[in-house]
Structure 1
Amino acid sequence: MTCSTVFPARWRAALTLALVLALPGCAILRTSGDEASSRPPVPERSQTTPTGAAPQATAFDIRIEAEDDDLRHLIERHNELQRYRAVADLDEAELARLLALAERDVRNLLGTEGYFTPQVTLRRDGAPGARPTVVIAIEPGPATTIAAVDIGFEGDIAQSADPGAVAQREAIVENWGLPEGRRFTQDRWSGAKTGALRQLVKRRYPRGKVGHSLADVDAPQAQARLGVRLDSGPLYRLGPATVQGAKRYPPELAERLSWLKPGDVYDQKKLVDAQQRLAGSGYYDSAYISIDPEGDPAAAPVSYTVTEAKRHKVQLGLGYSTDGGARVSLEHRDNTVFGTSWRADTKLHLDQKAPLLQTELTSLPDARGWRWAGLARYMRQDDGALNTTSKTLRAGIAKTEERYDRHFYLQYDHARVTGSGARAAPDALIGDGAAVSANYAWTGRYFDRLPVPSRGYGLSGEVGAGVTTAGERKPFARLTGRWLGIVPVGDGGSRLALRTEAGAVLADKRARLPLSYLFRTGGDTTVRGYGYRSIGIPLGGDVVGPGRYMAAGSVEWQRPVLRERFPGLLEHTLFIDVGGVANRASDLRAHWGVGTGVRLITPVGPMQLDIAYGLKSKRLRLHMNVGFVF
């Protein structure tokens, strides 16, 4: 016998399954509308009694006989007989009638799990006159699996040849949640449609919907054929913006900090990222960005609702690192310093190794995103036998974008080196000097997510040219570069973190370059197994001076651990670091460090604790570092 039945969407799949089970031989589940259909939730029946109340007498007991624990629990919790157990005056005729109805109910429940040809037997056990036990025996039969899936598209996404639309179509099909060969259940069917719809509306098509869906179940063959038509509607682009809540700061500031521009394709993730960017800018405590889906799709109005931050912010911090020891920091921010639109950020760090006092002034970004910036810094660095006092003045322009940072600036540096090691070496070798330079810095970030990337890479470089102002005036050039790559390994979430960096200063050997232009390495974020800035030019005894060439690299294996107990929280690492510093590139010598560690994944980035052994220093060192910065 063959048959097919079409139901309106309001009946949903649960009622359809009931009719399907009543007509063995074939079943067609057909739904249509704006949203994926789903089985209405079945209320749980509780067998507990209120606290302090006497246990309520039951008319009968229920026992489920099934080999599959999941199916047994499903029937125990949701079968219709549960609600009648409290009816104490049931006679035998009424109980028999309930048993006949309960069989249909159990078949319906099994159908939601993909079992359309079950053997269900209900019987009454117990002595005459005693409280009976209703036994529900289940042989579920073969589970229905997916034989074929047909995903179609309507609207702009079906017609567009734009690479973005093509990639979105392919991603929806590839990530379909109920592929061929998997067991059919009503929850999985509804979840797969919901997941496909979410992928459709999260980018380009906020008014997308499920235009039509079909689950054709062949019960005797235990197979289902699925069909879904996704209607994208029109392509949406961002249009003019309005800002609500702007009082202290100009309304256009929110637009400029969001990096959203009129004409951009609608992207839900970019709107969320823009909200977080505004909230983290220091100008706003919170922000909400949305579009008007009823507006013109070619220029959908964008609405910003912001809560502005207070003008002043003071922050006191305590910290510790194995490089610098304990640290106390005091930071103050004034978003409208001296009544202007400029911001002042002042920092005081009391650190055992590198205390500093710094003030930075920045303007609001202009229409193209560029800011003017100025900086003044006073810092001391204690390297044991060498103590360096440095002063820095900087002025320039900077631009920060989603993937790129650019910075043009002029800088003046002056360094004074004292200590027992300073008397044993010429000034040109220890960084005692001064210089003026013009510089350009660029950073590109191509990671999948921050601050804990799982793949991608970052690349940065800086080039500068200037002249020394201490002793003889000598021209010089300075080049630095850094690369970090994150490469997945296998399917378990493991990955390799590959890092390399290098720097060079080209100048006359008599040029008195300040320490900030020269290089030393070693420590938590460079070559582990060695002390902070302990790799440099040996000057005799325990004195290490800076060099004009530097190269360093690292290979680190990161793998999740205790995933079942602490998912996404802990990782184990194994690493090899290497680095060297010299005054000539040909004199660079490798300083190797090897070790292992653990990483705790936090919202602000990984917190890493490592133990490393320096092959050249022949020492075991503990290293701690927090956050991810590139």
Structure 2
Amino acid sequence: MTRISAFWIALLLLVIAVPAWAEVTVEIRGVEGDLRDNVRNHVGQPASNDSLVVRRFAGRVNQRATEALQALGHYEADVRVETPRDNGGRRIVVHVDPGPPIVIDSVDVRIEGDAETDDAFQRLLARMPLREGDTLHHGRYESTKRNIENLSLSRGYFDGRFVRSRINVSIRDQRAEIILHYHSGERYRFGDVEYSDNALSDDLLARLVPFDQDDYYHSDGIAAFNRNLLNSDYFRDVRVRTNQDRGEDRRVPVRADVRMNRPNRMGVGVGYATDVGPRIRLNWRKPWVNADGHSLSSEAEVSEVRQSVSSTYSIPLTPPLDHRLQFQGGWQREEIEDTETEKLTAAIQRQRTLTRGWTQTLFLRWEREKFVQAGDRGETTLTLPGMSLTRTRSRGGLDPNWGDRQFASVEATHPELGSDIHLSRIRLGTKWLRTYGRHRLVARGDAGAVISESFSRTPPSLRFFTGGDQTVRGYRYQSLAPRNEDGDLIGGRYLLVGSLEYGYRIYDRWTVATFYDVGNAFSDFDEDFREGAGFGVRWASPVGQIRLDLAWGISEPDTPFRLHFSMGPEI
């Protein structure tokens, strides 16, 4: 066979095969919107472009299109199917005349049994998408049935069933009658709660259960129980199950299969910030010390300007996740600007989670602080009772796109409590993060006041200093505060700082930002504020946000410039 003959044979085979390769298109004509979409979805697409497959597919199009139209209340539709050939390809054209719709003439939905007086079912029926005068929609009818059944199962009506469920359609009158009668039976209650083998006491486990035995069953209670066990930090794996078939006297037994967490957990963190330089942090946590669920944690931090060690012993109260008693102790040493301190601390505090995410802490703290402030040496012992309120909310994981943080604390002491001086101190702080598309806004404010007739004996840790990565950028860390006659920092009685930042996401994890910071620490409010402004870039790294800022102290005569680098959560 010559090369020319082989070429013409291959070309002939290609021409014969083209119709089999050509794509088959299905066109829906005569209807739009939901009708067109439903016909399109029901009709579908041929499984292949083979001629026999296409012919069989086209033969079923009329029936499928008719069923799709009936599902949306059009029972007198006229469907005509054509299969024209053009340009070597195939087309299936579906011509649809939907005809008049069937209108719902009456809706008879009844809930009988214990669920008849259940408010949750009344709210469900009030939102039911079946109304007299609406076009019949079989999908809404079926979804109403599913919603009733799902709500029944979630609320413990395990014997519930439809005693009547039908649609009566009169094509002649173009009317439909919907009948749904559901009998829920009696509502089940929670039964005994069992656990797989674990190291915790029955009393503690019982306090982790968010429902009481004999409470009415609700699936939300099971989900909350599962969350409580996971959030307790005692377990690494949790699976809560129910078995209605084993229920006696309409009691649902609950079983929690759990695996204990590791008895010791250690972590190492390394970071850098221009405020404190490179730092390393070590932590150790023992999730449970005994069967009563007491826990122990310790942390050590080392940086160029700060070294500290602290420990916390925590006792769960009732409820154990929201109420705890803690004993704390620690040592800290700092050397920043004109301040050198060494502090010992011991504290007892009761911490409770309130509504709307607020956490209340009542504390009694003892501390002894040796210090050198602007060349003056001192040592002060204080016993400080106080209270704090905090709330932190965020969405978006390590790089949140929404969130806020609120903080307020008050503490006071008197020589009658064993303190060297009389002192009162208040702190307020807020931070807000909001994102609108690519635009990101961050606003922050901090305020504080310390009242003491012996300010020279007030420890530096209770005085106010500002400036740095997290306060007024463009200035050194804690370099803004009142100074003595020699120009050395002595700290302020008052603090007032505000900040506003705008960011724009330029690419995936990268954001550019511009900001304005203002504030100072004062001896009195006649002193001037310090202002800082600049721009920077943020990178949402896999370990958290990394921030690089170029800032200028614009209120200073020589407009000092500083580079600020930090990493960690925005909120």
Please say whether Structure 1 and Structure 2 have the same fold, judged by a TM-score greater than 0.5: yes
- Per-residue CA shift, 1:1-23, capped at 9, x if unaligned? xxxxxxxxxxxxxxxxxxxxxxx
* Paired position in structure 2 for 1:10: none
How many pairs are equivalent? 539
Segments of 5+ residues of structure 2 without an aligned counterpart are 1-15
Shift of 1:303: 3.5
* Structure 1 residue 435 corresponds to structure 2 residue 385: no
- Per-residue CA shift, 1:359-412, capped at 9, x if unaligned? 222234367765442222222334234333322222344344673433333322
Which stretch of structure 1 is more off in the superposition, 140-149 or 313-322?
A: 140-149
Q: Of 311, 320, 329, which aligns to 1:376?
A: 329
* Paired position in structure 2 for 1:475: 422
Q: Of 313, 318, 341, which aligns to 1:388?
A: 341
* Structure 1 residue 627 corresponds to structure 2 residue 569: yes
CA distance in 2, matches of 1:78, 1:366: 60
CA distance in 2, matches of 1:159, 1:371: 39
Q: Of 203, 207, 230, which aligns to 1:252?
A: 203
Shift of 1:347: 1.4
After TM superposition, the structure 1 = structure 2 runs for residues 148-163 of structure 1, keeping only pairs within 5 Å, are 154=111, 159-160=117-118
Question: Cα distance 1:158–1:455, how it changes in 2: closer, same or farther (>3 A)?
Answer: farther
Shift of 1:307: 1.0
Shift of 1:477: 1.8
Q: Of 45, 63, 76, which aligns to 1:104?
A: 63
Tell me the amino acid that sits aligned with residue 117 of structure 2.
Q
* Structure 1 residue 579 corresponds to structure 2 residue 519: yes
CA distance in 1, matches of 2:296, 2:304: 26
Q: Of 83, 86, 89, which aligns to 1:123?
A: 83
Identity of aligned residues (%): 19
Question: Cα distance 1:611–1:109, how it changes in 2: closer, same or farther (>3 A)?
Answer: farther
Give the 3-state SS of the residue equivalent to 1:363 in structure 2. Answer: strand
CA contact (8 A) 1:382 1:388 kept: yes
- Per-residue CA shift, 1:295-330, capped at 9, x if unaligned? 599986543332111322222222334433333222
- Per-residue CA shift, 1:492-538, capped at 9, x if unaligned? 69786654443222211445122222222344444455444333324
* Structure 1 residue 137 corresponds to structure 2 residue 89: no
Q: Of 270, 286, 290, which aligns to 2:237?
A: 286
CA contact (8 A) 2:369 2:381 kept: no
CA contact (8 A) 2:333 2:341 kept: yes
Segments of 5+ residues of structure 1 without an aligned counterpart are 1-54
Structure having the higher strand fraction is 2
Shift of 1:591: 3.7
Tell me the amino acid that sits aligned with residue 370 of structure 2.
R
CA distance in 1, matches of 2:177, 2:542: 43
- Per-residue CA shift, 1:189-232, capped at 9, x if unaligned? 8778768877x479756869896888899999x99999988988
Question: Cα distance 1:516–1:263, how it changes in 2: closer, same or farther (>3 A)?
Answer: farther
Tell me the amino acid that sits aligned with residue 520 of structure 2.
G
* Paired position in structure 1 for 2:492: 547
CA contact (8 A) 1:205 1:233 kept: no
Question: Cα distance 1:87–1:225, how it changes in 2: closer, same or farther (>3 A)?
Answer: same
* Paired position in structure 2 for 1:607: 545
Question: Cα distance 1:233–1:133, how it changes in 2: closer, same or farther (>3 A)?
Answer: farther
CA contact (8 A) 2:72 2:138 kept: yes
* Structure 1 residue 305 corresponds to structure 2 residue 270: no
* Paired position in structure 1 for 2:299: 347
CA distance in 1, matches of 2:167, 2:469: 57
Shift of 1:260: 5.6
Shift of 1:550: 1.9
Tell me the amino acid that sits aligned with residue 81 of structure 2.
T
Shift of 1:356: 1.7
Taking structure 1 as the reference length, the TM-score comes to: 0.63
CA distance in 1, matches of 2:152, 2:527: 55
Question: Cα distance 1:385–1:510, how it changes in 2: closer, same or farther (>3 A)?
Answer: closer
CA distance in 2, matches of 1:297, 1:529: 71
Which stretch of structure 1 is more off in the superposition, 235-244 or 541-550?
A: 235-244
* Paired position in structure 2 for 1:46: none
Q: Of 324, 328, 332, which aligns to 2:280?
A: 328
Give the 3-state SS of the residue equivalent to 2:204 in structure 1. Answer: helix
Give the 3-state SS of the residue equivalent to 1:282 in structure 2. Answer: coil
CA distance in 2, matches of 1:316, 1:401: 32
CA distance in 2, matches of 1:465, 1:458: 24
* Paired position in structure 2 for 1:513: 458
Question: Cα distance 1:353–1:217, how it changes in 2: closer, same or farther (>3 A)?
Answer: farther
Tell me the amino acid that sits aligned with residue 580 of structure 1.
N
* Paired position in structure 2 for 1:85: 50
CA contact (8 A) 2:102 2:171 kept: no
Tell me the amino acid that sits aligned with residue 433 of structure 1.
E
Give the 3-state SS of the residue equivalent to 2:83 in structure 1. Answer: strand
CA contact (8 A) 2:299 2:309 kept: yes
CA distance in 1, matches of 2:176, 2:540: 42
* Paired position in structure 1 for 2:13: none
* Paired position in structure 2 for 1:536: 481
Give the 3-state SS of the residue equivalent to 1:537 in structure 2. Answer: coil
Shift of 1:628: 6.3
* Paired position in structure 1 for 2:25: 64
CA contact (8 A) 2:385 2:412 kept: yes
Tell me the amino acid that sits aligned with residue 346 of structure 2.
L
Tell me the amino acid that sits aligned with residue 283 of structure 1.
Y
* Structure 1 residue 408 corresponds to structure 2 residue 350: no
Shift of 1:112: 7.0
CA distance in 1, matches of 2:259, 2:96: 58
Question: Cα distance 1:242–1:380, how it changes in 2: closer, same or farther (>3 A)?
Answer: same
Question: Cα distance 1:338–1:122, how it changes in 2: closer, same or farther (>3 A)?
Answer: closer
Shift of 1:440: 3.1
- Per-residue CA shift, 1:421-452, capped at 9, x if unaligned? 732xx45xxxx532322323343548596968
- Per-residue CA shift, 1:83-123, capped at 9, x if unaligned? 793769x9xxxx6x875444334554677799985754323
CA contact (8 A) 1:240 1:262 kept: yes
Shift of 1:63: 3.0
After TM superposition, the structure 1 = structure 2 runs for residues 359-374 of structure 1, keeping only pairs within 5 Å, are 359-365=311-317, 370-374=323-327
Give the 3-state SS of the residue equivalent to 1:121 in structure 2. Answer: strand
Shift of 1:345: 1.3
CA distance in 2, matches of 1:272, 1:105: 41
After TM superposition, the structure 1 = structure 2 runs for residues 100-249 of structure 1, keeping only pairs within 5 Å, are 100-105=59-64, 107-108=66-67, 117=77, 119-123=79-83, 125=85, 135-139=91-95, 154=111, 159-160=117-118, 165=120, 169=123, 200=151, 241-246=193-198, 248-249=199-200
CA distance in 1, matches of 2:317, 2:156: 31
* Paired position in structure 1 for 2:374: 422
- Per-residue CA shift, 1:127-174, capped at 9, x if unaligned? 9xxxx975311345679999999897736676356xxx49x937x967
CA contact (8 A) 2:24 2:49 kept: no
Taking structure 2 as the reference length, the TM-score comes to: 0.69
Shift of 1:276: 4.3
Which stretch of structure 1 is more off in the superposition, 201-210 or 278-287?
A: 201-210
CA distance in 1, matches of 2:427, 2:161: 53
Question: Cα distance 1:511–1:232, how it changes in 2: closer, same or farther (>3 A)?
Answer: farther
* Paired position in structure 1 for 2:10: none
